[in-house]
Structure 1
Amino acid sequence: MAHTKRTRPAHRAGRTDRTLGSRQLAALLPDPAEARPAYRHLAQAISALILDGRIALHVRLPAERELATALNTSRATVTAVYDLLRESGYAHSRQGSGTWTALPEGRAPRGVARLLGPHDTAIDLARAAPNLSRQTLTDALARVSPQLAEHVDTPGYHPYGLPELRAAIAERFTRRGLATVPEQILVTSGAQHALTLVLGLLARPGDRIMVENPSYPNALEAIRRARLRTVPVPVTDTGWDTGTIEAALRHAAPRLAYLIPDFHNPTGCLMPESQRARTLRAAQRSGTWLVIDETLTELALDVPAPPPFACHAAPGGTGQVIVTGSMSKTHWAGLRIGWLRAPARLVTELAGQRVATDMGGSVLDQLLALDLLDRSEELLPQRLEQSRRQRAALTSALAEHLPQWTWHLPPGGLSLWVDLGEPVAAALAERALDYGVRIEGGAYFATDPGIFEQRLRIPYTTPPETLREAVHRMAATLADGLTSSSTGRRPHWIA
């Protein structure tokens, strides 16, 4: 099957693509009868969806009468909802054109806020990102400085990536069992950048994409912004159900499928080899492009690192498999180095897509990445041993202070997917800030709102003593109760 993007239909006149339908919004909101006053309950839900990115900015909200009908509530309730959203800065009105979503002054979208990190002394468990030792970085900088000087006489633009780095990444794939040449590699500014390029080239608004539920939040956000229709398949504590995946591919025939089979984020599950082969065959039958996220592949703590997913394809069957990877989880996210492996022709097309917004990555960062990759046999075992110690500290602290919580020990990756036993994750995450812990509730990893409220993703990427203190603080948070009135503050969505 040809892998170039399908011809897009001519753009339709009007602003229908900037309007949120009443049924679409109602499906995202809780039942107005669940809490009183209903208008505050609904306004809080809409503002949270705007911060999460599940409702885009600068889109028109449904007419009051239409939304009232969809929610089976009064128009007066919806009027009060919109009034409160305008007062708190989450909406504004244009005369004669309705009510439009907005962001209050001083607030950042949730994804941006998470990446900015805390500006206080809170323990940050919202990000599963390890640090790089200062000595390792200093030594690498000293080694690459002479090489950087050699590049000063060149323009410095490498839309495909630095040739020697492409060759090194290709050689790593070959060593792992998947023969690869440099022409099949595109160096990107992280795995998220690679995914965004793929979505922009191979999909159009309205196309279906199969995704795991739960999944990596930033990937889900990229998919929402591309206006793709998700086809969720569940990932439980015991992993994937192959029959469900095959049925989704057969019946929905999605254009793309985004999977994290290696130490899945957030569950930590590792997909068995038999499931990989069946998934590849099913995707081939449905004509679906598989986008395999290998960001966590090398973080194998209790098992050997798995070979590339595409190794399980029949001969000649890897033509519609795209693999993305990154140094963010194995080394340091500050390098902003990722890559994708795809058919050479597709790599050429993706490079063309890239230069419209990004003419090439930093030469210095790529030289540093090359140096660190060359030293993987020295650095990676240290990283794995550090992760094992931190994981042990976290599980020990949880068993001591929060024995009612349960989890399956992941064989790799960077986090635990913890079951709290009751749907209090969002309340706990909000209240824990008062105790100096920043963490994300499970709903943030869901394809749809209202699920995984009994789950927390707890990364073990900070020192053992910090993890023990974080667990102690979360236990204190629960012991003191989770009622919002105890904080003595207005909810953050009104601030």
Structure 2
Amino acid sequence: MHERNSVADLAGILRGELNRYSAGEKLPSSRALVERFHVSPVTVSRALATLAAEGLVVTRPGAGAFRAEPRTAPARPGDTSWQQVALSADTGDEAVPRSVDASCVLASLAAPPPGVIELSGGYLHPALQPERALGAALGRAGRRPGAWERPPLEGVGELRAWFAREIGGPAGTVAPSGVLITAGGQSALTTALRALAPPGAPVLVESPTYPGMLAAARASGLRPVPVPVDGHGVRTDLLAEAFRASGARVFVCQPLFQNPTGAVLADDRRREVLRVARAAGAFVIEDDFARRLVHEGAPPLPPTLASEDPDGVVVHVCSLTKFTSPSLRVGALAARGPVLDRLRAIQVVDTFFVPRPLQEAALELVGSPAWPRHRRTVAAELRSRREVLLAGLGRELPALNAEFAPPGGFHVWTRLPDGTDEGALAAAALRAGVAVNPGRPFYSAEPPAPHLRLCFAGAAGTAELTEGVRRLRAAYEGTDAGPSGA
């Protein structure tokens, strides 16, 4: 068929003959088509490829060409508008809204766009994470006898004992029986909040404080009541008044390297926090998230509040996640008295238990020679990064007041000049290629001044920190967010 030897002509003929074949039935072989239409094998191959691209034919190497299954009509788009009513409907006697605002948590977990320097994160940069040690620990854990069996609901005994030693210190004031293994610190915080306060109740929080805790409290139906923090931790004179005025029975605090300020609770205030809470008949949730993030050369760390509390006032929360990897979600709750049973019950109902292989891997990691090496490496690197960031701010952005050099943790808390639009500045910084955290989400009520939180752990290194400060300066100078443009 010399007049029909083009690819398009042959594809048209074959397209018209497809109705002769059932779905899935094999078409004539390429050799048969070559002989029938007097065309080259290349023409046949290209014609079949045309039909395959149209979804009419399926070609299988070595088997031939087959008629494709008929296309089904696209499904009708569903109508989910009814959910707006169902999710908002109430009986009129609910104490709190049913909606959950996770925006601040999502913002902290989101990876910045490519090319953007991350000064907004809450985890170690991958270069600082002990990936090889984690991989080796996971491999050893998977080969442990019984590693894939169901773990005890409270957690693997050896891991509970390790956390008890870490929390109780040399005096051994925390027993392994008082420790529950959790799926990271956020899960532990949520469990503690739900256990200690009913929906609609007030809960005292530091101001500023960790936005993820505020989100967890509000999602549990609690009303955060702020208590101001200064360079020595929470203002205990205001804490006592806040208990009296609010009737709260829970106070959440971070005594060590507080997020975002980096403050360490002073010795006299440590004693006062326990005394005031005990007098109010209230619990203290001690979020000890940063104990392993101490910087090289820092003064000796104070003990945990839990280790100095024989009366069961303190519910202690800690985790390995910040110090290792976002995916090693292993933490602990420690408590004394009847509250431990309630914590355990809530955790079992919510999650059953933490997967045993993950617990075994954590146990392998903390018992390996890599663990103390990792602690030394992180301590030295965090100190170096903190100093580079503070030096860069002093040189490039003296208008950002960052007088306090935290001896641990990831963050520097900087106060902006009065009248600065911190949200506009953060947006301008992102356009300039550096991600920072505006201060507003760290407050449960109106903030006293504009702030930025700058993280020095998520950048690739000190050179990237220096460049990040330079980009932040360009954003500050090039936007109308500053006080002159307010």
* TM-score bin (small chain): 0.7 to 0.9
Q: Matched residue of 2:292: which SS?
A: coil
Q: Tell me what 1:406 maps to.
A: 401
Letter in 1 for 2:466: R
Residue number among 396, 415, 422 corresponding to 1:419 in the alignment: 415
**1:92-491 to 2 correspondences below 5 Å:** 109-131=103-125, 133=127, 136-151=130-145, 155-301=149-295, 302-313=298-309, 316-317=310-311, 319-343=312-336, 345-375=338-368, 376-407=371-402, 408-422=404-418, 423-448=420-445, 450-451=446-447, 453-461=449-457, 462=459, 463-482=461-480
Q: Show structure 1 runs of 5+ residues with no match.
A: 1-11, 21-54, 58-102, 485-495
Q: Show structure 2 runs of 5+ residues with no match.
A: 1-88
Note if contact 1:276-1:312 (Cα within 8 Å) is conserved in structure 2. Answer: no
Q: Tell me what 2:63 maps to.
A: none
Note if contact 2:164-2:172 (Cα within 8 Å) is conserved in structure 1. Answer: no
Tell me: CA distance 1:253–1:136, structure 2 relative to 1, closer, same or farther (3 Å): same
Give the C-alpha shift of residue 18 in structure 1.
8.5
Between the aligned partners of 1:439 and 1:277, the Cα distance in structure 2 is: 35
Letter in 2 for 1:175: G
Note if contact 1:424-1:453 (Cα within 8 Å) is conserved in structure 2. Answer: no
Q: TM-score, normalised by structure 1?
A: 0.72
Note if contact 2:141-2:364 (Cα within 8 Å) is conserved in structure 1. Answer: no
Q: Matched residue of 1:383: which SS?
A: helix
Tell me: CA distance 1:182–1:311, structure 2 relative to 1, closer, same or farther (3 Å): closer
Give the C-alpha shift of residue 383 in structure 1.
0.8
Residue number among 79, 99, 109 corresponding to 1:56 in the alignment: 99
Note if contact 1:130-1:329 (Cα within 8 Å) is conserved in structure 2. Answer: yes
CA RMSD after TM alignment: 2.6
Q: Matched residue of 1:130: which SS?
A: coil
Tell me: CA distance 1:299–1:455, structure 2 relative to 1, closer, same or farther (3 Å): same
Give the C-alpha shift of residue 13 in structure 1.
7.3
Q: TM-score, normalised by structure 2?
A: 0.74
Spell out, residue by residue over 1:5-46, the C-alpha distance to the aligned partner (whole angstroms, 9 max, x if none): xxxxxxx971453986xxxxxxxxxxxxxxxxxxxxxxxxxx
Q: Matched residue of 1:457: which SS?
A: strand
Give the C-alpha shift of residue 135 in structure 1.
8.5
Between the aligned partners of 1:410 and 1:275, the Cα distance in structure 2 is: 18
Between the aligned partners of 1:382 and 1:428, the Cα distance in structure 2 is: 34
Q: Matched residue of 1:334: which SS?
A: coil
Between the aligned partners of 2:107 and 2:453, the Cα distance in structure 1 is: 17
Tell me: CA distance 1:249–1:392, structure 2 relative to 1, closer, same or farther (3 Å): same
Give the C-alpha shift of residue 238 in structure 1.
4.8
Note if contact 2:160-2:179 (Cα within 8 Å) is conserved in structure 1. Answer: yes
Give the C-alpha shift of residue 172 in structure 1.
2.1
Between the aligned partners of 1:144 and 1:328, the Cα distance in structure 2 is: 15
Letter in 1 for 2:383: R
Q: Tell me what 2:13 maps to.
A: none
Between the aligned partners of 1:219 and 1:289, the Cα distance in structure 2 is: 16
Amino-acid identity (%): 28
Note if contact 2:252-2:286 (Cα within 8 Å) is conserved in structure 1. Answer: yes
Between the aligned partners of 2:96 and 2:381, the Cα distance in structure 1 is: 49
Letter in 2 for 1:357: D
Give the C-alpha shift of residue 294 in structure 1.
0.5
Note if contact 2:138-2:358 (Cα within 8 Å) is conserved in structure 1. Answer: no
Give the C-alpha shift of residue 382 in structure 1.
1.4
Note if contact 1:257-1:291 (Cα within 8 Å) is conserved in structure 2. Answer: yes
Note if contact 2:388-2:466 (Cα within 8 Å) is conserved in structure 1. Answer: yes
Q: Matched residue of 1:200: which SS?
A: helix
Q: Matched residue of 2:385: which SS?
A: helix
Letter in 2 for 1:295: F
Q: Tell me what 1:17 maps to.
A: 94
Note if contact 2:388-2:462 (Cα within 8 Å) is conserved in structure 1. Answer: yes
Letter in 2 for 1:56: S
Tell me: CA distance 1:112–1:18, structure 2 relative to 1, closer, same or farther (3 Å): farther
Note if contact 1:266-1:415 (Cα within 8 Å) is conserved in structure 2. Answer: yes
Tell me: CA distance 1:261–1:330, structure 2 relative to 1, closer, same or farther (3 Å): same
Moved more, 224-233 or 340-349: 340-349
Between the aligned partners of 1:174 and 1:16, the Cα distance in structure 2 is: 43
Between the aligned partners of 1:388 and 1:404, the Cα distance in structure 2 is: 23
Aligned residues: 386
Tell me: CA distance 1:13–1:481, structure 2 relative to 1, closer, same or farther (3 Å): closer
Spell out, residue by residue over 1:378-402, the C-alpha distance to the aligned partner (whole angstroms, 9 max, x if none): 3212111110010011011111111
Between the aligned partners of 1:371 and 1:153, the Cα distance in structure 2 is: 12
Q: Matched residue of 1:298: which SS?
A: helix
Letter in 2 for 1:441: P
Tell me: CA distance 1:19–1:342, structure 2 relative to 1, closer, same or farther (3 Å): closer
Give the C-alpha shift of residue 134 in structure 1.
8.1
Give the C-alpha shift of residue 122 in structure 1.
1.3
Moved more, 423-432 or 282-291: 423-432
